Amino acid sequence: MADQSIVSALILGLIEGLTEFIPVSSTAHVLLAGHFLGFKSPGNTFAVLIQLGAILAILAVYASKLIQIAVALPTSAQARRFVLSVLIAFLPAAVIGAIAHDFIKTVLFETPMLICIVLIVGGILLYAIDHMPLKPRYTDIMQYPPSLALKIGLFQCLAMIPGTSRSGATIAGALLMGTDKRSAAEFSFFLAMPTMVGAFTLDLYKNRDALSFDDFTMVAVGFVAAFISGLFVVRSLLDFVSRRGFTPFAFWRILVGTAGLIGLWLFG
């Protein structure tokens, strides 16, 4: 049973890293896969804690840019404005996530049918947005004004509903607010850093008494798998989006959501 749990943790970690930064909802994929694998974790904590691996993947890829921004902070108004914009975008999700944490984890995370339906609806909306004749006004994340960042942050709050996708909500919101596809995806990367660290810290604190050594072993396996697969996605996503847009992800969401509904109907 322990070996089976480790294999499941490995599979779920790979899924987390592959889906965290694309607009398909990593949480939905991990929860649905865990449901059909029969994988259980206290308070569904595993799905949140392994996100740390994906966070470190972003940090590894963007380390040099983060260092450049940090060094420039004392002398560059642009660098300070960018950091402020990311923090402003993070704030709405931080407040709502802290207030609604228990409801999200005990109700929304425990409703696979809702997750599947949200995947399908989100896929349809993402396809529609990707084909709108939008004219970008912002193409450089360093030039995003704080007001735009706040609007993107409000869109991120939609991701409290599992199946919505944090990156999907922020990217869709950014596109509707006048950004181009590449910079929308890149800003979503930077916004993921404080958001995912905050979710990780809150979830670890809330479930600190429910986790055992075996749980930490499974989290460690999932963490490493998420880091490795996340590296691949972060390094390749921006170029892919620039060439293909978000339509492939929209179709994938609809496919997974439909397959999940069929699976729930057949197997419960």
pLDDT tens, position by position, 214-224: 677 888 899 89
More confident residue, 150 or 244: 150
Say what angle helices 166-176 and 112-130 make with each other, to 10 degrees.
Answer: 30
- Which sign does the torsion angle of CA 127, 235, 21, 182 carry? negative
Q: Report angle CA 236, 170, 155 to the nearest 5 degrees.
A: 170
> What are the CA-CA distances from residue 235 to residues 57, 62, 156, 186 (Å)?
9, 10, 22, 11
Q: Quote the crossing angle between the two packed helices 2-19 and 26-37, to the nearest 10°.
A: 160
Band (252; pLDDT cuts 50, 70, 90): very high
Sketch the domain layout of the chain as residue ranges: 2-267
Place of tokens 């999907």: 168
Judged against a pLDDT cut of 90, whether residue 25 lies above it is answered with no
Which residues make Cβ contacts (< 8 Å) with residue 112, sequence separation at least 6? 31, 32, 35, 260, 264
Which positions ≥6 away from 189 have C-beta within 8 Å?
21, 58, 62, 234
For the chain, the 3-state helix, strand and coil shares in percent, each to the nearest 5, are: 80, 0, 20
More confident residue, 89 or 42: 89
Find the length of the chain. 268
Q: Is the Cα torsion angle 260, 32, 153, 103 positive or negative in sign? A: positive
Residue-wise DSSP of 187-206: HHHHHHHHHHHHHHHHHHHH
Q: How does DSSP classify residue 79?
A: H
Report pLDDT for 44: 61
pLDDT digit string, tens, across residues 67-124: 999 999 999 999 999 999 999 999 999 999 888 877 776 766 667 888 899 999 999 9
Residue 177 has pLDDT above 90, yes or no: yes
* Whole-number pLDDT of residue 43: 55
